[in-house]
Amino acid sequence: MLTMIGKRLMFAIPSLIGVVIVTFLLTRALPGDPAAYFAGPAATKEAVEQIRKKLGLDKPLIEQFFRYTNDLAHGDFGNSLTTGQPVAAEIRNRLPASAELTLLGLIVSVVIAIPLGVLAATRPGSWVDHLCRVTTTAGVSLPVFFTGLVLVYVFYFRLGWSPAPLGRLDVFTSAPPTVTGFYLIDTLIARNLEAFRSALSQLILPATTLAIFSLAPIARMTRASMLAVLASEFVRTARASGLSPSTVIVTYAFRNAMLPVITTLSMVFSFLLGANVLVEKVFAWPGIGSYAVEALISSDFAPVQGFVLTMAVMYVLLNLVIDILYGVIDPRVRLEG
Amino acid sequence: MKRRDFLKSVSGLAAGAALPAMPQMISSAYADARSETLLIVSEGGPNNLDIHGVGTNVPGYEVSWNCYDRLISHAMKSGPGGVPYYDRDKFKGELAEEFRIDDMSVTFKLKKNAKFHDGAPVTARDVKWSLDRAVSVGGFPTFQMSAGSLTKPEQFVVIDDYTVRVDFLKKDKLTIPDLAVIVPCIVNSELVKKNASEKDPWGLEFTKQQTAGSGAYKVTKWTAGTEVIMERNEDWVGGPLPKIKRVIWRMVPQAGNRRALLERGDADISYELPNKDFQEMKANGKLNVVSLPFSNGIQYIGMNVTKPPFDNPKVRQAVAYALPYQKIMDAVMFGLANPMFGAPADKATEVAWPQPHKYNTDMDKAKALLTEAGYAGGFETTISFDLNFAGVNEPLCVLVQESLAQIGIKTTINKVPGANWRTELNKKEMPLFTNVFSGWLDYPEYFFYWCYHGNNSVFNTMSYKSAEMDRLIEGARTAAAAGDTATYDKDVKGFVDLAYTDIPRIPLYQPFVNVAMQKNISGYQYWFHRRLDYRALVKG
């Protein structure tokens, strides 16, 4: 098992090197001149040149690349010009914010989508099936920023039930000491219930927004794969042997239907993590997606490179975890390099 | 499955999720904290707390303004609508107790009780070090200092512990005003020197992350891109102690949410909202909305005069007659701007800037001028704008495109990403574009020097060159320094007239700074930098 994981990680190295080279070249190929941008509105040509020199952008590309990889090897992702902070520290602070939101959204989504999919598959053509179809279609057809804005409008602006969409905590609550970076956990560790409640209530609307969006693929996949499994021979045999319907569905059918669902989950998770930019924008969430987009807008190379690299590493790790999970769920699947 | 059932199930789900948030208790401590705290929401935040830093952005200027002191500042006067407005011509001491302007120098006596945030006294050495720093670090701060002929460290002389003299290189009317802008702020030199390194002799890395000044506020927490928290400096001597104890400045990227926060009463102040929102908020009267014109600022249509067809003044005049000025005012600005067009034909040119030109939308005249210039059949060109300000620029360009099509000028709209805009401006190749320029120092000759002078600065976006124009601008600058009002007036009128006959850039309007705040907030002051001054604000 361990050698297997080691082997898998070894295979990931060439792709990571590829990612480093490609992001470096791509960011350099972007139109726009960071020196001119950061020299400010009132800059003369000389001022722009001075800034260029300070940023090291006057050096040949190959030298810039070696300097960049050398810094990377020392764990230095460079400095962001838009926020003025080291990229590594920013990603470390922002990744948990995105991860907490995405995980919570995913959990809400799974709790609703999987039972919905299972029920729909066991009673095809019934009202549950139709409900599943309509909910999922509606979920994917509504763009996330729209759902987010509607939720803010209704639950914050109109009804006043939800707190102001001001990020992870309300203004007068201070952040708990960082242990995991997940406020829900950190506030509990610090036994600060006030902050816990604040963090939770801030999370509800954005997590719901994400959940509505990710319902569709999970519920559809659960339904489809359950339908296939329920039609298979071992289920018929189980039924014929007089096992109770719940045993048949939960123990035999569901476990076998889970593999494609897990694959979908991993895809949805990694997709949401990078793509919930719009939700982050709507809820002023200090996450990693909005960070990357802002950096891109101002041709700020370092954060973009850092973001892509982090995402690549996350994908590699996520795939590894999924593959291990496969083996646990279905012993027939062998984890091989 | 009925649509109604579906809607019910979805909204039921969302309501269930939102319920636990409902009992949001407001404890009394919380209420107290609120009454002395100002919550500001805006789109962007600072990237550097020190204006001397590399590439400090505009929100960073706001931090510098409130957390650092300058030797002198402007006095206030009553502006449009009774809103306090900085007085361009009146100065008062901030760190300086008194100052004396001589023929070729100015001497400042410092307030003896002034202290930096860490308790160290503000001395003449700090002043010299800070001004040396501003003229030496390069980039924007050095450029801004040079606008007032402040370029050499030798100009700043320490007389004794509490007296500093600034020597003039030449007579320049802009030297004193330039000492009252944001850049010449006084930094705690001992503290910063301790944290400087060989690679970074001016300690820019240190002051980027924390404030080291003597100003009315100090930054206690800064999370880039998320929030800035500032606490009042109880020992501030630059003016009366501010009423607001704590300022929390949160970044809320979504304009709709900023408005919702204001209307729900959760945020105290916001700016950078779409004009339509400001106009609606003004109309419904629940909030105070202050709108004041940018001093020395104009949104314009520029034309590259080095290349045909815009090298022909007749073509430029034709365009000036073909622009849909009033439509832009109504549909793009929602009335929140001062028109810069359609002055009566017999109106005499004033010694002021900005002032409206005499062109009006007149398609027949435009058509005739275009025919006269030899372009009866029209021509094709592109109109470019900066996507960072797409909210105004995009509808504006669409209106211009539609209007120019009526005289046969076919335009393609070219949207330039913000990061790329300055590069494009520097190349000076865009044939037709819209842009905005506003100068900190509110003097006509300052504006013209940057925008029309033949030395072709970045802001002379049209690459306009005219010996007569240069002569008039230089004349006005010399006359201003010498105090020769008659020549000054003549030259200013001269260059304004020339700019409007040659019309390389067509002013559209003078934009407004819009700030929306709760009814219980008072004391807003307009400053040349257009950012908030927390020191004068009062809550309750």
Q: Are B418 and A200 in contact (CB < 8 Å)?
A: no
Position B154 scores a pLDDT of: 93
Local confidence band at B22 (pLDDT 50, 70, 90 cut-offs) = very low
Percentage, residues of chain B above pLDDT 70: 94
Q: Tens digit of pLDDT for each residue in A266-286?
A: 888 877 876 677 888 888 888
Give the tens place of pLDDT for each residue, B123-150.
999 999 999 999 988 777 888 888 888 9
Cβ atoms of B289 and B515 within 8 Å: the answer is yes
Tell me which chain A residue has its CA closest to the CA of residue B420.
A32
- Could you say which of B13, B24, B209 has the minimum Cβ distance to residue A163? B24
| Separation in Å, CA of B34 to nearest CA in chain A | 8
For chain A, report the end-to-end CA distance as a whole number of angstroms.
Answer: 11
- A32 lies within 8 A of chain B by CB: yes
Cβ distance A204 to B20 less than 8 Å, yes or no, reads yes
Residues sharing a CB contact under 8 Å with residue B307, sequence separation 6 or more, in sequence order: B431
**Nearest residue of chain B to residue A298 (CA atoms):** B419
pLDDT at B15: 43
The tokens of A212 are what? 């509505």
pLDDT number for residue B31: 58
pLDDT surpassing 70 at residue B292: yes
pLDDT for B2 equals 47
Residues of chain A contacting residue B419, judged by C-beta atoms under 8 Å apart: 30-34, 37, 297-299
Quick one: pLDDT band at residue A40, thresholds 50, 70, 90? Answer: low
- pLDDT at residue B48 in the model: 86
How close does chain B come to A129, measured CA to CA in Å? 9
Give the residues across from B511 on adjacent strands.
B337
pLDDT recorded at residue B1: 40
β pairing state of B246-251 and B37-42:
parallel
- Cβ of A85 within 8 Å of Cβ of B224? The answer is yes
Residues paired with B514 in a beta bridge:
B291
For residues B166 and B131, is the Cβ–Cβ distance under 8 A? yes
CB contact A100 to B (< 8 Å): no
Q: What percent of chain A has pLDDT over 90?
A: 1
Instruction: Mark yes or no for CB contact A51/B208 under 8 Å.
Output: no
Token pair for B313? 């003044």
CA A235 to chain centroid, in Å, comes to 36
Which residue reads 């949805």 in tokens? A268
Q: Which residues of B426-453 are buried (b: 16+ CB within 10 A; e: fewer)?
A: beeebbbbbbbbbbbbbbbbbbbbbbbb
B12 pLDDT higher than 70: no
CB contact under 8 A, A135 and B142: no
A171-175, A238-242, B6-10, B225-229: the lowest-pLDDT one: B6-10
B58-113, pLDDT tens digit by residue? 889 999 999 999 999 999 999 888 899 999 889 999 999 999 999 899 999 999 99
Q: Is the dihedral of CA B101, B102, B107, B109 positive or negative?
A: negative
Among A residues 148-187, those touching chain B with beta carbons less than 8 Å apart:
149, 151-157, 160-167, 171-172
Q: Is the dihedral of CA B445, B447, B451, B455 positive or negative?
A: positive
Q: What is the pLDDT of residue B461?
A: 87
Q: Contacts of residue A208 in chain B, CB cutoff 8 Å?
A: 13-14, 17-18
Q: Which residues of B touch A81 (CB under 8 A)?
A: 47, 55
Measured in whole angstroms, how far is the alpha carbon of residue A93 from the centre of its chain? Answer: 15
| pLDDT score of B152 | 92
Give the pLDDT confidence of B180-228 residue by residue, as tens digits. 999 999 999 999 999 988 888 999 889 988 999 999 999 998 888 888 9
Chain A hits for B54, Cβ within 8 Å: 38, 51, 54-55
Average pLDDT in chain A? 82
pLDDT of amino acid A6: 82
Q: Confidence class of residue B455 from pLDDT cuts 50, 70 and 90? A: confident
How many CB atoms sit inside 10 A of residue B143's CB? 18
pLDDT digits (tens, 9 = 90+) for B499-528: 999 999 999 999 998 999 999 999 999 999
Q: How far apart are CA B421 and CA B428, in angstroms?
A: 11
d(CA A53, CA A192) in angstroms, rounded, equals 48
Tell me the pLDDT of chain B averaged across its residues. 87
The reported pLDDT for the residue numbered A52 is: 79
Report chain A residues whose CB lies below 8 A from the CB of B41.
166
pLDDT surpassing 70 at residue B273: yes
Name the residue type at position B73. Answer: S
Question: pLDDT at residue A44 above 70?
Answer: no
Distance from CA of B17 to the nearest CA of A (A): 6
Work out whether the CA dihedral B205, B206, B209, B210 comes out positive or negative. Answer: negative
In this prediction, residue B356 carries a pLDDT of 92
Packing angle, helices A2-29 and A301-329, rounded to 10: 150
Q: Do A33 and B138 touch (CB under 8 A)?
A: no
Tell me what pLDDT residue A258 has. Answer: 84
Rama region for B98: left / alpha / beta (φ>0; ψ in -120 to 50; rest): beta
**Rounded to the nearest 10 degrees, what angle do helices B124-136 and B139-146 cross at?**
100
CB contact B389 to A (< 8 Å)? no
Main-chain dihedrals φ then ψ at residue B354, nearest 5 degrees: -80, 155
The tokens for A98 are 């995105």
Per-window interface: A 194-223 vs B, CB < 8 A: 200-201, 204-205, 207-208, 212
Taking residues A163-178, report their average pLDDT: 80
What digits encode the pLDDT tens for the residues B276-290?
A: 899 999 898 889 999
| A8 vs A156: which has the higher pLDDT | A156
Q: What is the ipTM of this complex?
A: 0.75
Per-residue pLDDT at B420: 74
pTM of the predicted model over 0.90: no
Q: What confidence category does residue B13 fall into, taking pLDDT thresholds of 50, 70 and 90? A: very low
Tell me how far apart the alpha carbons of residues A185 and A183 are, in angstroms, rounded to a whole number.
5
Average pLDDT of the segment spanning A179-202: 86
CB spacing of B254 vs A51 below 8 angstroms:
no
